[in-house]
Structures are given as structure tokens and as C-alpha cells.
């Protein structure tokens, strides 16, 4: 991920300076969202315990909370809390034990978020206008899904797999520019668009991470562009606010600040919000926006489980089509067996195209595709620039419900270990040869000359390979060796 180091939210946040956090934590909704999204479970427990403490507490007290075997988890939690500027730990000194406390801004805002009250309006002002009856949850889901699939299709189709259900429209021009600027796709010399390695990473992420990736790209592009007059911190806090809005409710655009209102068209392009054509003063957050703070891969939420259960009971045909995960794809549809066969219960041309990147698909049924992973298909994917880790995490994120259940029953990993290992081994096959650029030294006049020089290069750590018999060695830097040889010559 050297191309785009800020594709992940955690990394993006960690790079922000402390003053930015101070600003972010002024809004209860932002504080609430960061708490929910960014912290591991144990860290959340720590924060909650410290939230209503009037005084700082000593670090040794904190140690006493935690079982000795969980010390590593505790240290991890603390370091995350520190990097997000949530806790403050006093410097160690002799007269006073080290103390830990929540940052005052964070504490105040989180308390406000939990108790309600205040006058910050950070959880969105609902619109008082009449909601058009046709805008309901399925409508918003369909809308968000369509928008997001457009974006993904644009990225996928640049590989060369043309989607069969292409609608011709594709995402907006602004989104396209953004994808190019973010180097998810780039312009090839012949004018066509080609996907980059970052683009593959993007495709193989699960929906929630994809949304964040795109949003962070957008923040970065706008942040670099000083003329836009948008403050990245304010935008970030607006995004967090969107995440705490209620799905299916209309909000008032007039209550937003000028800058935030300027962001709305872009958010419409991403499918995060919906603005009715004839009522421009209200907006609806879609599921893409309201699940921004759901952690890692919590696609299988309770409400979705219930929806799926009731819908499959009512109409068995509809069960295939309804809102799946929070994003553009149905949650969990891929089954992979120990014999490398792969089945995906999907109709989505998009998901099929993604699977075709690394699997050889040979059968297609009305609601299912079947294929297998083979050495050739994985090698092809690796040639595209996809890594084994990306493939594996894609398979894990999209594993079928049944895979999860079997894994839970037998206490085994979700993906068959043999397949996971083999995918990695196939990748390693390509990495057997390592190239190092450098210099070959040979034709030494006598043995002593050779041995001295080789020893010297070994001592300064530039020796890569040597062959005493042929009196040759290979070093990746030559300046110091040249000097060494010169001084030797002078001494003679």
C-alpha cells in the first residue's frame, strides 16, 4: 500500500495533528462515531469506565483491572487511545505515579452524546417538510446500491470485464475524476483507463471499507486543493455526523453550514445521501452513510438477519434480491471448499467480475456461478497486482453464512486452511528470485587481495554474494570499496 498510504481511516486519523482532534472532539456526534468505529472492544470498556471519573486515575490502577494474560490487549488498546488523542497519560516522574485521564474535550462530548442535551445540533436537524410517500427504506437502499455499483463497475470495467448489465450511465464525471486522481484507475498511454494495484485493493475490500476509502480520497483531494475553501476537519466531522443520522428520515439542508451544503452534491454522487428532485431542502441519508461507523465487517447485523428471515419466509423468490449488505453487494455469498471449488450465490455482474479476477469460473446458473481456484488463475491475479492477502481477505469477508456456521460448529477457521495456504504458496512461487542491483568485483590479482576486500565489504554490510573459488564477489554499493582499494594501492 505504498501508493496510497491513507486508504484506511485509522491511518488517516493517526496522521492528523492533536489540534485537529481537539476540533473533532468538539462535536458530540463525531466523538461518538470515533468511539464506536475506531476503538477495539477493550478500549471502549476503558473509556466507559473512565468517563464519569472526576479525577485522573493512576496507571497502576488500570493495570489492576486487567487479567495478566490480557496485558498485550491492554497495551494495544492504550496505544490506540493515545494515538487518537483520547487519553492523556502524564509523564513518568519520581514523586508522582503516572496518571491517566480522558482528554477533557472528548470526555465532555461523549458525556453529552450519552446523556443528550446541550445545544450543539450535531445529530442533524430533521426536516419539518412532508416526506414524499415513495421514499421509503427499500427505495433508499435501491438508490444507494445503484450509485455504489456504478462506482464499482467503473473501476472493474477498466480491467476489461465488460459488465453484461451495463446501463451506460456510470458514475458522475466528478467521481470518475476522483477515482483517477486517487490512482484507483489511471489513464493508459492509449487513452483508455486501466486499474491500478490500489484499485484492486479497493475492489476486494468489503463495502464499508470501500466507502471510507473513497471518502478519504475525496478529503485528501479537496484538502490539497486549497482554493476549494473546504476544511478537511469540518468535512470529516460532517461525515461522522452523517453516520449518526437515522435511516429513512428526512433532514433539513438549511440547518447545515454553507460549506457543508456545498459537500452535498458530491455525497449524492457517492450514493451516501439522497435529495429528492422537487424538494431540494431536504436530504435522506442512505444505508451507506448510516453504517459508516459500523465496525470492520459487521455486515450481518441483527436487523438484516431479521429482514432476511422474514422475507425468505414470506416470498422465497424475493429473498435473493433484497437489500443485502450495507453496501453494493449481498453479504456473504461465496462458498469455498477444500478442493478449491468455489461457488457464489449471486446474480450481481459486479461480484462475478470481481471473482473472475482470481478464479476460473466455468459454470453459470440463474442465481449462482461455480468455478475453481487454480494455480493459473491465482497467478493471473498476481500478475494484475493483486496480492494473496487481498484475495484471502475478500473470500473471508464474503464467505457464505453456511461457511460461518460450519466454522462455528466445528471450531475451525472460516476458510479451509489448505486453500488459504496454497494461495499464499502460489504467490510465493513468484517471489523465489530476488533481484539486487549492484556491482561484481572480479579479476583480483592474488588471493590475499581478494580476501581482504571481500572481508571489508562484508564488514560494512554491502556484500551480497561471494565465491571464494572464482575470486568474485557481488556488492550492492561500491563507493567505500573503491576508497578501500585506493588506500590499499597507495599503501603498496
* Nine-digit cell string for 457: 565489504
Minimum distance of another protein from residue 94's CB (angstroms): 28
Quickly count: other Cβ atoms within 10 Å of residue 206's Cβ: 21
Minimum distance of another protein from residue 444's CB (angstroms): 30
- How buried is residue 388: exposed, middle or buried, by Cβ count under 10 Å (0-12/13-18/19+)? buried
- CA–CA distance, 459 with 457 (Å, rounded to integer): 5
* 331 and 362 Cβ atoms separated by less than 8 Å: no
Closest CA to 266 of 158, 347, 147, 183: 147
- CA–CA distance, 313 with 401 (Å, rounded to integer): 17
* Nine-digit cell string for 125: 436537524
Among 409, 435, 443, 489, binds another protein (CB under 8 A): 409
Using the rule CB under 8 A, is 413 a contact of another protein?
A: yes
Alpha helices in 231-277, H assignment, sequence order: 232-243, 258-270
Residue 443 half-sphere exposure, CB side, CA atoms within 13 Å? 1
Closest CA to 151 of 309, 432, 323, 350: 350
Minimum distance of another protein from residue 44's CB (angstroms): 5
* 382 and 368 Cβ atoms separated by less than 8 Å: no
Among 88, 298, 374, 480, binds another protein (CB under 8 A): 298
Using the rule CB under 8 A, is 101 a contact of another protein?
A: no
Among 3, 129, 165, 306, binds another protein (CB under 8 A): 306
Among 164, 303, 436, 445, binds another protein (CB under 8 A): 303
Using the rule CB under 8 A, is 76 a contact of another protein?
A: no
- 372: β partners: 341, 360
Minimum distance of another protein from residue 372's CB (angstroms): 19
Minimum distance of another protein from residue 178's CB (angstroms): 27
Using the rule CB under 8 A, is 129 a contact of another protein?
A: no
Q: Which residues, 325 to 364, sit near another protein by CB under 8 A?
A: none
- CA–CA distance, 320 with 331 (Å, rounded to integer): 11
Which listed range, 63-71, 152-160, 164-172, 201-209, lies at the site for another protein (CB under 8 A)? 63-71
Minimum distance of another protein from residue 28's CB (angstroms): 8
* 390 and 197 Cβ atoms separated by less than 8 Å: no
Using the rule CB under 8 A, is 375 a contact of another protein?
A: no
Which listed range, 89-97, 169-177, 300-308, 371-379, lies at the site for another protein (CB under 8 A)? 300-308
- CA–CA distance, 324 with 300 (Å, rounded to integer): 9
Residue closer to another protein by CB (options 123, 439) is: 123
- What's the gap between Cα 228 and its chain centre? 26
* 354 and 377 Cβ atoms separated by less than 8 Å: no
Residue closer to another protein by CB (options 407, 485) is: 407
Residue closer to another protein by CB (options 228, 418) is: 418
Residue closer to another protein by CB (options 111, 478) is: 111
- How buried is residue 181: exposed, middle or buried, by Cβ count under 10 Å (0-12/13-18/19+)? middle
- What's the gap between Cα 348 and its chain centre? 22
* 132 and 122 Cβ atoms separated by less than 8 Å: no
Among 92, 134, 173, 313, binds another protein (CB under 8 A): 313
Q: Which residues, 204 to 263, sit near another protein by CB under 8 A?
A: 244-249, 255
Using the rule CB under 8 A, is 444 a contact of another protein?
A: no
Using the rule CB under 8 A, is 3 a contact of another protein?
A: no
Using the rule CB under 8 A, is 52 a contact of another protein?
A: yes
Minimum distance of another protein from residue 365's CB (angstroms): 17
Among 16, 57, 59, 66, binds another protein (CB under 8 A): 66
Site string for another protein, 106-125 (x = CB under 8 A): ------xxxxxxxxxxxxxx
DSSP code at position 279:
-
Q: Which residues, 378 to 407, sit near another protein by CB under 8 A?
A: 392-393, 395-396, 399, 401-402, 404-405, 407
* Nine-digit cell string for 476: 550492492
Residue closer to another protein by CB (options 406, 487) is: 406
Residue closer to another protein by CB (options 111, 341) is: 111
* 490 and 482 Cβ atoms separated by less than 8 Å: no
Using the rule CB under 8 A, is 44 a contact of another protein?
A: yes
**230: three-class secondary structure by DSSP:** coil
Residue closer to another protein by CB (options 114, 485) is: 114
Among 8, 23, 42, 379, binds another protein (CB under 8 A): 42
Using the rule CB under 8 A, is 29 a contact of another protein?
A: yes
Amino acid at each position: 500500500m505504498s501508493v496510497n498510504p491513507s486508504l484506511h481511516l485509522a491511518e488517516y486519523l493517526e496522521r492528523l495533528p492533536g489540534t485537529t482532534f481537539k476540533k473533532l472532539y468538539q462535536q458530540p456526534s463525531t466523538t461518538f462515531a470515533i468511539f464506536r468505529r475506531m476503538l477495539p472492544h477493550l478500549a471502549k470498556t476503558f473509556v466507559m469506565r473512565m468517563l464519569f471519573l472526576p479525577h485522573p486515575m493512576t496507571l497502576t490502577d488500570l493495570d489492576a483491572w486487567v487479567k495478566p494474560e490480557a496485558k498485550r490487549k491492554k497495551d494495544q488498546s492504550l496505544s490506540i487511545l493515545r494515538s487518537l488523542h483520547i487519553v492523556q497519560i502524564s509523564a513518568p516522574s519520581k514523586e508522582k505515579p503516572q496518571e491517566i485521564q480522558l482528554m477533557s474535550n472528548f470526555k465532555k462530548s461523549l458525556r453529552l452524546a450519552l446523556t443528550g442535551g446541550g445545544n450543539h445540533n450535531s445529530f442533524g436537524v430533521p426536516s419539518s417538510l412532508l416526506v414524499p410517500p415513495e421514499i421509503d427504506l427499500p427505495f433508499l437502499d435501491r438508490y444507494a446500491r445503484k450509485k455504489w455499483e456504478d462506482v464499482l463497475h467503473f473501476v472493474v470495467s477498466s480491467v476489461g470485464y465488460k459488465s453484461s448489465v451495463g446501463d451506460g450511465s456510470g458514475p458522475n464525471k466528478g467521481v470518475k475524476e476522483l477515482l483517477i486522481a486517487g490512482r484507483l484507475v489511471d489513464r493508459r498511454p492509449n487513452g483508455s483507463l486501466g486499474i491500478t494495484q490500489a484499485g484492486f485493493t479497493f475492489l476486494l475490500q468489503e463495502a464499508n471499507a470501500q466507502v471510507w476509502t473513497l471518502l478519504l480520497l475525496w478529503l485528501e483531494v479537496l484538502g490539497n486543493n486549497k482554493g476549494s475553501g473546504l476544511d478537511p476537519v469540518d468535512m470529516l466531522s460532517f461525515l461522522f455526523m452523517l453516520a449518526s443520522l437515522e435511516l429513512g428520515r428526512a433532514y433539513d439542508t438549511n440547518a447545515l453550514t454553507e460549506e457543508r451544503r456545498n459537500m452535498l452534491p458530491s455525497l449524492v454522487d457517492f450514493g451516501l445521501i439522497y435529495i429528492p428532485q422537487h424538494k431540494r431542502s431536504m436530504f435522506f441519508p442512505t444505508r451507506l452513510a448510516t453504517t459508516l461507523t459500523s465496525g470492520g465487517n459487521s455486515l450481518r447485523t441483527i436487523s438484516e438477519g431479521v429482514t432476511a428471515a422474514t422475507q425468505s419466509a414470506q416470498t422465497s423468490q424475493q429473498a435473493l434480491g433484497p437489500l443485502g449488505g450495507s453496501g453494493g453487494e449481498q453479504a456473504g455469498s461465496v462458498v469455498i471448499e477444500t478442493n478449491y471449488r468455489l461457488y457464489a450465490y449471486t446474480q450481481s455482474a459486479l461480484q462475478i467480475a470481481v471473482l473472475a479476477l482470481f478464479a476460473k469460473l466455468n459454470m453459470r446458473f440463474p442465481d449462482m456461478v461455480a468455478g475453481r481456484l487454480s494455480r493459473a488463475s491465482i497467478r493471473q491475479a498476481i500478475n494484475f497486482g493483486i496480492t494473496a492477502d487481498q484475495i484471502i481477505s475478500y473470500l473471508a469477508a464474503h464467505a457464505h453464512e453456511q461457511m460461518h456456521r460450519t466454522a462455528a460448529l466445528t471450531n475451525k477457521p472460516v476458510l479451509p486452511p489448505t486453500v488459504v495456504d496454497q494461495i499464499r504458496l502460489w504467490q510465493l512461487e513468484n517471489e523465489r528470485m530476488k533481484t539486487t542491483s549492484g556491482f561484481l568485483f572480479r579479476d583480483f590479482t592474488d588471493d590475499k587481495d581478494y580476501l581482504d576486500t571481500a572481508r571489508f565489504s562484508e564488514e560494512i554490510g554491502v556484500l551480497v554474494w561471494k565465491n571464494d573459488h572464482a575470486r568474485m564477489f557481488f556488492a550492492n554499493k561500491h563507493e567505500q570499496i573503491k576508497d578501500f582499494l585506493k588506500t590499499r594501492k597507495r599503501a603498496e
